[in-house]
Chain A
Amino acid sequence: MYRYDEFDATFVRQRVAQFRDQVARRVSGELNEDEFKPLRLRNGVYLQLHAYMLRIAVPYGTLSSRQMRKLAHIARVYDRGYGHFTTRQNLQFNWPRLSDIPDILDELADVEMHAIQTSGNCIRNVTADHFAGATADEVADPRPYAEIIRQWSSLHPEFSFLPRKFKVAVIASEHDRAAMKLHDIGLHLKRLDGGGLGFAVWVGGGMGRTPLIAKLIRDDLPEEDLLTYLEAILRIYNLHGRRDNIYKARIKILVDALGIEAVAAQVEEEWLRIRDGALKLPEAEIRRIETYFAPPAFDERPPKAAVRAPVSHDGRAFDRWVARNTHAHKQPGYAIVTISLKPIGGIPGDASAEQMDAIADLAERYSFDEVRVTHEQNLVLPHVRLGDLREVYRALKAIGLAEANAGLVTDIIACPGLDYCALANARSIPIAQRISERLAARQDQIGDLKIKISGCINACGHHHVGHIGILGVEKRGEEHYQLLLGGSGAEDAALGAISGPGFGPDGIVDAVEKVVERYLELRAGPDEPFLAAYARLGDAPFKEALYAA
């Protein structure tokens, strides 16, 4: 994985010193909250319902064991013993004291981490496929490009006061595990006709109160032109994106209003001007960054004993876990392991300091020192020998994280909601917990089904692209929930449609159960997943199940 050189290290230390000065000026009263707010936001510090919240960047979702242990340490020393992994592959601490935050940032700098641009109207932490560098189905590892974008976008002098936040995701597979088309810019690394690597560039996706799927702006961008093209898009957006209404300020609104052809024409004109300028990527530089992400020293002849090894008392449970929570690795004899942070009835995405430490140990011992954070709020051990799976399973079981539910109905995305968030209208976490409990016994029977829950219209819980989405709203002072059906954040990206009148906190759990039961009645067979059945049947039978008297 990427390692800081002296330049990176000094850069981050200076940034911490700068923020320490800004915190001191806020505490002394030199800066008022209005002046401090954009500064703290650029360093990942939010003011939530009960406390400050610190959002730490996990660039493209990749962590080392050492970094994970540091997060556990921070959770123990500065917070309440746990952290929350988010849909942007980041980690949030919910209870830090403002005066401790510069020290926390210094601790993070010790392990080459920071909180730069995890909030604010700037280019946010870049995300990527969480199976990058491991999955059998990628054309190349997308993370070197994400790292190049991370560097280019860090404290960019021109793009630090954009109309609104700006999110970039990078994938390198036909299977989109990063919800690429729901980002301001989605980059799909692929092999171009000439044989070189390049990108399909998607622009103008996003969720929030006006969800839109990104449009293809360029299908064949050579890798050397990555940064010049991004710079051209950002410049057009910075000049022309709306600033009169924060709900209409994302680039998706500009793309929707002008049309993708008009935006593409403006971008192209600017790009042709700067294409051969200082940001053109020399091939040697791309290859140099790639060396940081070189595959680990795989055992070329791993032991044969493995998945179907002698059955022990946990044999069936282990088999279920292997079937659900592992994914094909590009290296024979290895698997990618998903560590579900969705124990039945648990808080999606939360991990205790003890769990983080244990996972760091597992990564060190069994996964070449690497952990990944997924946008679905799970963790991943990317490189596990088949022969080690049973040991990994047992160790995860010991910390309560061996639920075999990756991609199942209990693997729910939920935003922090009204339990934490100052923007929320309704709680998300308890709804996720009740649905998880209600459907746990039937989850294998139900099969692939993604539920995503947001506590307000800002859609941090991705409800628009849940196969079943839930949106918390406020109705006459009460928490109320709308149900959406048929969304997807994957390569078949689609926005869910509201089913009809909403439900109260108990009713929404019943409603989800009714939809699931109707699906089980009507599906062509166990091989027809929910989304396929919904596409075939339309919404009528589900609405009937929900609303017929």
Chain B
Amino acid sequence: MPLDEGVRPLAPSLSVDLRRPGEGSDPFPQQAPGEPEPDGPIWRGSAFHTDAWARPADGELLPDSPVILSKARWLAERDGLAGRNAPLGLQIEPGEAIDDLAADLGRFALIALSFPKFADGRAFSTARLLRDKHGFTGELRAVGAVLSDQIPYMRRVGFDTYAVTHGPTRRALVEGRIAEVTLHYQPSTADEPPAGTRPWHRRSGE
């Protein structure tokens, strides 16, 4: 069916600050935040950045710089990687468990959670478990199908960086046009609603 015309002008756009509470301009100074770069792949805070992390294929030789490993490679090479000083990252695919890695999570400066499709929301729960259950405090990165309308949800469950390839989403981020509902009925990982707006949330804010 043809789209009909006559849509009214945009409502005032609701800008959203994607920094997590308490986060400065450089949340992981000792880690590998990348440099501000308008064409960079990683959205962090309020700008695109270069990606300081390499994602070598399983079996490929590891450089002496930040790398993101698959879970399979980490499990296979864990002992050999024990003495490594360059930062380590881990990428978790939907369906891969994290509970069996609980003792290892402190080794990772970054965990990337994959969204193979827009509609595959498993990583939202994995993110919450990483933050709330396992106390992971490193960088949590969304990779894959990262679209503008998901980003506020991603932020709320604990993500702080986003590998964004979708052109309109990149533009919307740069122009501050992520339309978001800024009031929340449920506590989450990244932020709590203002005290007093929902009494059962007040508890968590106290």
Please give, as numbers and ranges, the residues of chain A lying within 8 Å of B121 by CB-CB distance.
121, 158-162, 238
Please give, as numbers and ranges, the residues of chain B lying within 8 Å of A39 by CB-CB distance.
149
Given known A152-B186, A278-B200, contact A17–B14 (CB-CB < 8 A): yes
Judge whether B186 and A279 touch: CB under 8 Å.
yes
- Bound-state CA distance A274–B133 (Å) is 9
Q: Report the minimum CB–CB distance from B128 to chain A (whole Å).
A: 6
Please give, as numbers and ranges, the residues of chain A lying within 8 Å of B157 by CB-CB distance.
157-158
Please give, as numbers and ranges, the residues of chain B lying within 8 Å of A22 by CB-CB distance.
149, 179
B1-21 vs A: 1/0 string, CB under 8 Å? 101111111111110000000
Secondary structure call for the A interface: helix
B153 within 8 A of A: yes
- Bound-state CA distance A161–B127 (Å) is 14
- Bound-state CA distance A152–B128 (Å) is 16
Please give, as numbers and ranges, the residues of chain B lying within 8 Å of A17 by CB-CB distance.
11-12, 14, 179
Judge whether A160 and B118 touch: CB under 8 Å.
no
Please give, as numbers and ranges, the residues of chain B lying within 8 Å of A154 by CB-CB distance.
185-186
B78 within 8 A of A: no
Given known A17-B14, A121-B119, A280-B200, contact A27–B188 (CB-CB < 8 A): no
Size category, B interface: 35 or more
A80 within 8 A of B: no
Please give, as numbers and ranges, the residues of chain A lying within 8 Å of B182 by CB-CB distance.
14
Judge whether B124 and A161 touch: CB under 8 Å.
yes
Secondary structure call for the B interface: loop
- Bound-state CA distance A157–B185 (Å) is 10
- Bound-state CA distance A15–B154 (Å) is 17
Task: Kindly identify which residue among A20, A152, A235, A238 contacts B185, using a CB–CB cutoff of 8 Å.
Answer: A152
B93 within 8 A of A: no
Judge whether B3 and A20 touch: CB under 8 Å.
no
Stretch of A129-137, A170-178, A281-289, A337-345 lying at the B interface: A281-289
- Bound-state CA distance A154–B182 (Å) is 12
Given known A31-B168, A98-B4, A277-B204, contact A18–B181 (CB-CB < 8 A): yes
**Contact count A vs B, C-beta below 8 Å:** 148
- Bound-state CA distance A159–B187 (Å) is 13
B120 within 8 A of A: yes
- Bound-state CA distance A278–B168 (Å) is 36
Please give, as numbers and ranges, the residues of chain A lying within 8 Å of B156 by CB-CB distance.
157
Q: Report the minimum CB–CB distance from A246 to chain B (whole Å).
A: 10
Judge whether A11 and B149 touch: CB under 8 Å.
no
Tell me the residues in window 250-287 of chain A with beta carbons closer than 8 Å to chain B beta carbons.
273-274, 277-282, 284-285
Given known A22-B149, A38-B118, A161-B121, contact A282–B10 (CB-CB < 8 A): no
- Bound-state CA distance A17–B201 (Å) is 25
Task: Kindly identify which residue among B125, B152, B198 contacts A235, using a CB–CB cutoff of 8 Å.
Answer: B125
- Bound-state CA distance A367–B101 (Å) is 59
Please give, as numbers and ranges, the residues of chain B lying within 8 Å of A16 by CB-CB distance.
11
Judge whether B8 and A20 touch: CB under 8 Å.
yes
Judge whether A20 and B11 touch: CB under 8 Å.
yes
Task: Kindly identify which residue among B4, B124, B125 contacts A97, using a CB–CB cutoff of 8 Å.
Answer: B4
Name which residue of chain A comes closest to B205, CB basis: A278
Given known A102-B8, A238-B124, A281-B200, contact A35–B118 (CB-CB < 8 A): yes
Tell me the residues in window 394-422 of chain A with beta carbons closer than 8 Å to chain B beta carbons.
none
Judge whether A288 and B199 touch: CB under 8 Å.
yes
Name which residue of chain A comes closest to B188, CB basis: A157
Name which residue of chain A comes closest to B149, CB basis: A39
- Bound-state CA distance A219–B132 (Å) is 28
Judge whether B179 and A21 touch: CB under 8 Å.
yes
- Bound-state CA distance A278–B179 (Å) is 27
B203 within 8 A of A: yes
B51 within 8 A of A: no
A239 within 8 A of B: yes
A218 within 8 A of B: no
Name which residue of chain B comes closest to A120, CB basis: B119
Judge whether A38 and B119 touch: CB under 8 Å.
yes
Given known A17-B11, A158-B124, A278-B204, contact A285–B149 (CB-CB < 8 A): no
Please give, as numbers and ranges, the residues of chain A lying within 8 Å of B200 by CB-CB distance.
227, 278-282, 285
Q: Report the minimum CB–CB distance from B111 to chain A (whole Å).
A: 16
Name which residue of chain B comes closest to A151, CB basis: B185
Please give, as numbers and ranges, the residues of chain A lying within 8 Å of B107 by CB-CB distance.
none
- Bound-state CA distance A35–B3 (Å) is 15
List 29 contacting pairs A-B, 8 Å CB cutoff, sorted by A. A7-B183, A7-B197, A11-B183, A14-B180, A14-B183, A17-B14, A24-B9, A35-B118, A99-B5, A99-B6, A99-B7, A121-B119, A151-B186, A153-B186, A158-B125, A158-B153, A158-B157, A159-B121, A161-B119, A235-B128, A239-B122, A274-B132, A277-B204, A278-B192, A278-B203, A278-B204, A280-B203, A285-B199, A288-B199
Instruction: Across the A-B interface, give the 4 residue pairs with the lowest CB-CB distance, nearest first.
Output: A161-B121, A278-B204, A17-B11, A157-B156
Known pairs A27-B7, A31-B168 / 12 extra A-B pairs, C-beta < 8 Å: A7-B183, A11-B183, A24-B7, A25-B168, A39-B149, A151-B198, A235-B129, A238-B125, A243-B94, A243-B122, A277-B204, A278-B204
